[in-house]
Amino acid sequence: MSNVDRREVTEAINAADDALYHLKNARQCLNSAGNWGLLDLFGGNMITGILKHGKMANAEREIEQARYSLQKFSKELRDVQGFSSIHINDFLSFADFFFDGFVADVLVQSKISNAKKQCDDAIRRVQELRIQLEAML
């Protein structure tokens, strides 16, 4: 492997690490929002509602950071020979619909649960790609 190839693989691994960092943070924020949402759903008060919405805002920020990091990871993967045909745009779909005007607490819980599943899937897929990249070094 040439130095240029090694550098491209290393850059892709670093981009994967950044994406994983934000995806894992998003997952933690979603867990917290979900917990506060359940409390709010089953007899919470104004304070639990405020805390839930704060956690949702944190999750939304991390999801946007994860989206940016995944885009960078996708760009870096294109520079690595053998990975140019891999598309990770479908990793990003959860950020498109999350928090689009929630009407009911049950809907909030459903969207949080769905986003957590998609976040877990994205984490798993990025980790798999990262393992493949590491094996190249």
Give the residue from 10, 24, 29 showing the smallest Cα distance to 112: 29
pLDDT in tens, 79-130: 888 776 566 666 655 554 444 444 455 677 788 888 888 899 999 999 999 9
DSSP 16-83: HHHHHHHHHHHHHHHHHHHHHHHHHHTT--HHHHHHHHHHHHHHHHHHHHHHHHHHHHHHHHHTSTT-
- Per cent of the chain over pLDDT 90 is 31
Q: Where are the domains of the chain?
A: 3-132
pLDDT in tens, 31-64: 888 887 777 777 777 787 788 778 888 888 888 8
